[in-house]
Structure 1
Protein backbone atom coordinates (compact mmCIF):
# COMPACT_ATOMS: atom_id res chain seq x y z
CA UNK A 1 0.00 0.00 0.00
CA UNK A 2 1.34 3.40 -0.99
CA UNK A 3 1.00 6.16 1.59
CA UNK A 4 1.25 9.67 0.18
CA UNK A 5 3.58 12.21 1.74
CA UNK A 6 2.07 14.98 3.84
CA UNK A 7 3.16 17.41 1.16
CA UNK A 8 1.02 15.60 -1.43
CA UNK A 9 -2.10 17.11 0.17
CA UNK A 10 -3.42 20.54 -0.67
CA UNK A 11 -4.61 20.86 2.93
CA UNK A 12 -1.02 20.60 4.11
CA UNK A 13 -0.01 23.63 2.02
CA UNK A 14 -3.12 25.55 3.00
CA UNK A 15 -2.31 24.96 6.68
CA UNK A 16 1.32 26.04 6.16
CA UNK A 17 0.20 29.34 4.64
CA UNK A 18 -2.53 29.79 7.24
CA UNK A 19 -0.11 29.20 10.10
CA UNK A 20 2.41 31.64 8.63
CA UNK A 21 -0.17 34.40 8.13
CA UNK A 22 -1.83 33.80 11.52
CA UNK A 23 1.39 33.67 13.51
CA UNK A 24 2.73 36.80 11.82
CA UNK A 25 -0.48 38.65 12.66
CA UNK A 26 -0.49 37.35 16.23
CA UNK A 27 3.04 38.73 16.69
CA UNK A 28 1.95 42.14 15.38
CA UNK A 29 -1.02 42.17 17.74
CA UNK A 30 1.06 40.97 20.70
CA UNK A 31 3.11 44.14 20.38
CA UNK A 32 -0.17 45.98 21.07
CA UNK A 33 -1.10 43.63 23.98
CA UNK A 34 -4.01 42.14 22.04
CA UNK A 35 -4.69 38.55 20.95
CA UNK A 36 -6.24 37.54 17.64
CA UNK A 37 -9.45 36.53 19.44
CA UNK A 38 -9.61 39.89 21.24
CA UNK A 39 -9.05 41.71 17.94
CA UNK A 40 -11.84 39.70 16.30
CA UNK A 41 -14.30 40.57 19.07
CA UNK A 42 -13.39 44.24 18.97
CA UNK A 43 -13.76 44.28 15.19
CA UNK A 44 -17.22 42.69 15.39
CA UNK A 45 -18.29 45.30 17.97
CA UNK A 46 -16.72 48.22 16.09
CA UNK A 47 -19.36 50.64 14.79
CA UNK A 48 -22.19 48.61 16.33
CA UNK A 49 -24.72 49.45 19.01
CA UNK A 50 -24.21 47.67 22.35
CA UNK A 51 -24.74 43.97 21.69
CA UNK A 52 -26.02 41.09 23.80
CA UNK A 53 -23.31 38.49 24.47
CA UNK A 54 -25.55 35.82 22.92
CA UNK A 55 -25.79 37.80 19.68
CA UNK A 56 -22.04 38.36 19.72
CA UNK A 57 -21.50 34.62 20.21
CA UNK A 58 -23.72 33.90 17.21
CA UNK A 59 -21.91 36.46 15.04
CA UNK A 60 -18.50 35.09 16.00
CA UNK A 61 -19.42 31.40 15.92
CA UNK A 62 -18.34 30.97 19.55
CA UNK A 63 -20.05 29.58 22.61
CA UNK A 64 -21.55 32.03 25.08
CA UNK A 65 -18.98 30.87 27.64
CA UNK A 66 -16.11 31.65 25.26
CA UNK A 67 -17.56 35.10 24.60
CA UNK A 68 -17.87 35.75 28.33
CA UNK A 69 -14.22 34.79 28.97
CA UNK A 70 -13.03 36.88 26.04
CA UNK A 71 -15.17 39.84 27.11
CA UNK A 72 -13.83 39.57 30.67
CA UNK A 73 -10.27 39.90 29.36
CA UNK A 74 -11.19 42.93 27.27
CA UNK A 75 -13.07 44.51 30.16
CA UNK A 76 -9.98 44.09 32.34
CA UNK A 77 -7.97 45.91 29.63
CA UNK A 78 -10.51 48.74 29.49
CA UNK A 79 -11.45 47.94 25.89
CA UNK A 80 -15.02 46.68 26.37
CA UNK A 81 -17.75 47.82 28.73
CA UNK A 82 -20.52 45.60 30.06
CA UNK A 83 -23.84 47.26 30.92
CA UNK A 84 -27.39 46.34 31.80
CA UNK A 85 -29.65 46.10 28.78
CA UNK A 86 -32.04 49.08 28.97
CA UNK A 87 -34.83 46.92 27.50
CA UNK A 88 -34.32 44.00 29.91
CA UNK A 89 -32.58 44.66 33.23
CA UNK A 90 -31.78 40.94 33.57
CA UNK A 91 -29.74 40.99 30.36
CA UNK A 92 -26.41 42.64 29.59
CA UNK A 93 -24.81 44.24 26.58
CA UNK A 94 -21.21 44.60 25.46
CA UNK A 95 -19.77 47.62 23.68
CA UNK A 96 -16.38 49.03 22.83
CA UNK A 97 -15.04 51.72 25.08
CA UNK A 98 -13.97 55.03 23.52
CA UNK A 99 -10.36 53.86 23.92
CA UNK A 100 -11.09 50.70 21.92
CA UNK A 101 -13.06 52.55 19.24
CA UNK A 102 -9.96 54.67 18.62
CA UNK A 103 -7.69 51.59 18.80
CA UNK A 104 -9.53 49.38 16.28
CA UNK A 105 -8.50 51.35 13.16
CA UNK A 106 -4.85 51.05 14.21
CA UNK A 107 -5.25 47.29 14.64
CA UNK A 108 -7.04 47.09 11.28
CA UNK A 109 -4.01 48.77 9.70
CA UNK A 110 -1.85 46.02 11.23
CA UNK A 111 -4.14 43.41 9.65
CA UNK A 112 -3.81 45.14 6.29
CA UNK A 113 -0.02 45.35 6.63
CA UNK A 114 0.15 41.69 7.59
CA UNK A 115 -1.84 40.65 4.52
CA UNK A 116 0.27 42.88 2.31
CA UNK A 117 3.51 41.41 3.69
CA UNK A 118 2.38 37.79 3.60
CA UNK A 119 0.97 37.91 0.08
CA UNK A 120 3.30 40.50 -1.47
CA UNK A 121 4.85 38.08 -3.92
CA UNK A 122 1.51 37.31 -5.57
CA UNK A 123 0.42 39.45 -8.52
CA UNK A 124 -2.94 41.17 -7.98
CA UNK A 125 -4.72 38.74 -10.30
CA UNK A 126 -3.43 35.75 -8.31
CA UNK A 127 -4.43 37.36 -4.99
CA UNK A 128 -7.92 37.99 -6.35
CA UNK A 129 -8.18 34.43 -7.66
CA UNK A 130 -6.96 32.99 -4.35
CA UNK A 131 -9.48 35.10 -2.41
CA UNK A 132 -12.28 33.99 -4.75
CA UNK A 133 -11.35 30.32 -4.44
CA UNK A 134 -11.02 30.41 -0.65
CA UNK A 135 -14.32 32.27 -0.22
CA UNK A 136 -16.01 29.72 -2.48
CA UNK A 137 -14.60 26.82 -0.44
CA UNK A 138 -15.75 28.47 2.81
CA UNK A 139 -19.26 29.03 1.44
CA UNK A 140 -19.46 25.49 0.08
CA UNK A 141 -18.36 24.05 3.44
CA UNK A 142 -20.95 26.19 5.27
CA UNK A 143 -18.33 27.75 7.52
CA UNK A 144 -19.87 30.71 9.33
CA UNK A 145 -17.71 31.41 12.39
CA UNK A 146 -14.75 33.72 12.61
CA UNK A 147 -11.37 31.96 12.59
CA UNK A 148 -9.59 33.06 15.74
CA UNK A 149 -7.05 30.30 16.41
Structure 2
Protein backbone atom coordinates (compact mmCIF):
# COMPACT_ATOMS: atom_id res chain seq x y z
CA UNK A 1 0.00 0.00 0.00
CA UNK A 2 1.38 3.41 -1.03
CA UNK A 3 1.74 6.34 1.33
CA UNK A 4 -0.16 9.60 0.84
CA UNK A 5 2.81 11.41 -0.69
CA UNK A 6 3.01 8.81 -3.46
CA UNK A 7 -0.41 9.72 -4.89
CA UNK A 8 -0.36 12.30 -7.67
CA UNK A 9 -3.86 13.38 -6.68
CA UNK A 10 -2.52 14.42 -3.28
CA UNK A 11 0.05 16.76 -4.88
CA UNK A 12 -2.40 18.06 -7.45
CA UNK A 13 -4.92 18.91 -4.73
CA UNK A 14 -2.25 20.59 -2.57
CA UNK A 15 -1.10 22.73 -5.48
CA UNK A 16 -4.65 23.56 -6.53
CA UNK A 17 -5.66 24.46 -2.97
CA UNK A 18 -2.58 26.66 -2.52
CA UNK A 19 -2.98 28.48 -5.85
CA UNK A 20 -6.72 28.99 -5.36
CA UNK A 21 -6.39 30.10 -1.73
CA UNK A 22 -3.77 32.72 -2.54
CA UNK A 23 -5.80 34.05 -5.47
CA UNK A 24 -8.93 34.13 -3.31
CA UNK A 25 -7.06 36.30 -0.79
CA UNK A 26 -5.81 38.71 -3.46
CA UNK A 27 -9.19 39.06 -5.16
CA UNK A 28 -10.92 39.53 -1.79
CA UNK A 29 -8.98 42.80 -1.49
CA UNK A 30 -11.14 43.95 -4.43
CA UNK A 31 -14.35 42.44 -3.04
CA UNK A 32 -14.69 39.51 -5.46
CA UNK A 33 -14.18 35.76 -5.34
CA UNK A 34 -12.31 33.57 -7.83
CA UNK A 35 -15.61 32.31 -9.28
CA UNK A 36 -16.88 35.88 -9.64
CA UNK A 37 -13.62 36.80 -11.39
CA UNK A 38 -14.18 33.92 -13.80
CA UNK A 39 -17.59 35.34 -14.72
CA UNK A 40 -16.33 38.92 -14.98
CA UNK A 41 -13.39 38.15 -17.27
CA UNK A 42 -15.53 35.86 -19.43
CA UNK A 43 -18.15 38.58 -19.97
CA UNK A 44 -15.51 41.30 -20.36
CA UNK A 45 -13.76 39.38 -23.15
CA UNK A 46 -17.02 38.26 -24.77
CA UNK A 47 -16.18 34.58 -24.22
CA UNK A 48 -19.61 34.17 -22.61
CA UNK A 49 -22.56 36.56 -22.79
CA UNK A 50 -25.34 34.49 -21.23
CA UNK A 51 -25.59 32.49 -18.02
CA UNK A 52 -25.77 29.24 -20.00
CA UNK A 53 -22.57 30.14 -21.86
CA UNK A 54 -20.86 30.93 -18.54
CA UNK A 55 -22.10 27.62 -17.16
CA UNK A 56 -20.65 25.71 -20.11
CA UNK A 57 -17.36 27.62 -20.08
CA UNK A 58 -16.81 27.22 -16.33
CA UNK A 59 -18.29 23.71 -16.26
CA UNK A 60 -20.57 24.53 -13.33
CA UNK A 61 -24.26 24.16 -12.63
CA UNK A 62 -26.54 26.86 -14.14
CA UNK A 63 -27.99 27.50 -10.68
CA UNK A 64 -24.51 28.29 -9.36
CA UNK A 65 -23.99 30.73 -12.25
CA UNK A 66 -27.29 32.41 -11.46
CA UNK A 67 -26.21 32.90 -7.83
CA UNK A 68 -22.82 34.27 -8.97
CA UNK A 69 -24.52 36.73 -11.31
CA UNK A 70 -26.96 37.73 -8.53
CA UNK A 71 -24.00 38.59 -6.28
CA UNK A 72 -22.18 40.48 -9.03
CA UNK A 73 -25.38 42.36 -9.84
CA UNK A 74 -25.79 43.28 -6.15
CA UNK A 75 -22.23 44.63 -6.18
CA UNK A 76 -23.06 46.78 -9.21
CA UNK A 77 -20.53 45.01 -11.47
CA UNK A 78 -22.81 43.22 -13.93
CA UNK A 79 -26.31 43.62 -15.32
CA UNK A 80 -28.81 41.34 -17.02
CA UNK A 81 -30.54 42.57 -20.14
CA UNK A 82 -33.32 40.72 -21.99
CA UNK A 83 -31.91 38.55 -24.77
CA UNK A 84 -33.53 39.68 -28.02
CA UNK A 85 -33.18 36.17 -29.46
CA UNK A 86 -34.82 34.37 -26.51
CA UNK A 87 -37.64 35.44 -24.22
CA UNK A 88 -36.38 33.17 -21.41
CA UNK A 89 -32.74 34.24 -21.45
CA UNK A 90 -30.73 37.29 -20.46
CA UNK A 91 -27.56 38.82 -21.89
CA UNK A 92 -24.91 39.61 -19.31
CA UNK A 93 -23.15 42.96 -19.52
CA UNK A 94 -20.61 44.67 -17.31
CA UNK A 95 -21.58 47.93 -15.69
CA UNK A 96 -19.21 50.89 -15.84
CA UNK A 97 -17.86 49.83 -12.45
CA UNK A 98 -17.34 46.28 -13.76
CA UNK A 99 -15.54 47.50 -16.88
CA UNK A 100 -13.26 49.60 -14.69
CA UNK A 101 -12.56 46.81 -12.18
CA UNK A 102 -11.78 43.93 -14.56
CA UNK A 103 -8.45 45.35 -15.87
CA UNK A 104 -7.34 45.91 -12.26
CA UNK A 105 -8.30 42.35 -11.36
CA UNK A 106 -6.54 41.09 -14.46
CA UNK A 107 -3.27 42.64 -13.28
CA UNK A 108 -3.71 40.94 -9.92
CA UNK A 109 -4.39 37.57 -11.58
CA UNK A 110 -1.44 38.04 -13.96
CA UNK A 111 0.90 38.74 -11.03
CA UNK A 112 -0.51 35.72 -9.19
CA UNK A 113 0.02 33.49 -12.23
CA UNK A 114 3.56 34.83 -12.61
CA UNK A 115 4.32 34.09 -8.96
CA UNK A 116 3.21 30.46 -9.20
CA UNK A 117 4.14 29.61 -12.78
CA UNK A 118 6.62 32.27 -13.91
CA UNK A 119 9.59 29.98 -13.40
CA UNK A 120 8.27 27.73 -16.19
CA UNK A 121 9.27 28.62 -19.73
CA UNK A 122 6.65 28.88 -22.50
CA UNK A 123 7.14 25.28 -23.60
CA UNK A 124 6.76 23.97 -20.05
CA UNK A 125 3.64 26.06 -19.51
CA UNK A 126 2.12 24.78 -22.76
CA UNK A 127 2.97 21.20 -21.83
CA UNK A 128 1.50 21.59 -18.33
CA UNK A 129 -1.72 23.02 -19.79
CA UNK A 130 -1.85 20.17 -22.31
CA UNK A 131 -1.41 17.59 -19.54
CA UNK A 132 -4.10 19.20 -17.36
CA UNK A 133 -6.63 19.49 -20.18
CA UNK A 134 -5.89 15.91 -21.20
CA UNK A 135 -6.43 14.69 -17.64
CA UNK A 136 -9.69 16.61 -17.42
CA UNK A 137 -10.92 15.19 -20.74
CA UNK A 138 -10.00 11.69 -19.58
CA UNK A 139 -11.81 12.21 -16.26
CA UNK A 140 -15.09 12.82 -18.12
CA UNK A 141 -14.84 9.28 -19.49
CA UNK A 142 -14.25 7.75 -16.06
CA UNK A 143 -16.80 5.06 -15.16
CA UNK A 144 -19.00 5.59 -12.10
CA UNK A 145 -17.41 2.59 -10.43
CA UNK A 146 -13.66 1.98 -10.33
CA UNK A 147 -14.08 -1.65 -9.23
TM-score class, shorter: 0.7 to 0.9
Residue aligning to 2:60: 62
- Distance change in 2, residues 1:36/1:123 (3 Å): closer
Q: Is residue 49–residue 95 contact of structure 1 (8 Å, CA) maintained in 2? A: no
Q: Is the Cα–Cα contact under 8 Å of residues 42 and 48 in structure 2 kept in the other structure?
A: no
Q: How many residues align?
A: 140
Q: Give the equivalent residue in structure 2 for 1:41.
A: 39
Give yes or no for contact 1:50–1:95 (8 Å, CA) kept in 2. Answer: no
2:19 aligned partner:
21
CA distance in structure 2 between the partners assigned to 1:59 and 1:47 by the alignment? 13
- Distance across 2 between alignment mates of 1:90 and 1:135: 33
Instruction: Give the secondary structure class of the aligned counterpart of 1:83.
Output: strand
Q: Identify which of 104, 115, 118 aligns with 2:116.
A: 118
Matched ranges for 1:67-106 at <5 A:
67-106=65-104
Range 83-92 or range 17-26, more displaced: 83-92
Q: TM-score, normalised by structure 2?
A: 0.81
RCO comparison, higher one (Cα < 8 Å, 6+): 1
Unaligned stretches of 5+ residues in structure 2? 142-147
Q: Quote the residue 2:145 is aligned against.
A: none
C-alpha distance in 1 between matches for 2:130 and 2:48: 33
Q: Does the C-alpha gap of structure 1 residues 65 and 55 become closer, same or farther in structure 2, counting only changes over 3 Å?
A: same
1:132 positional shift? 3.5
RMSD: 2.4
Match of 1:53 in 2: 51
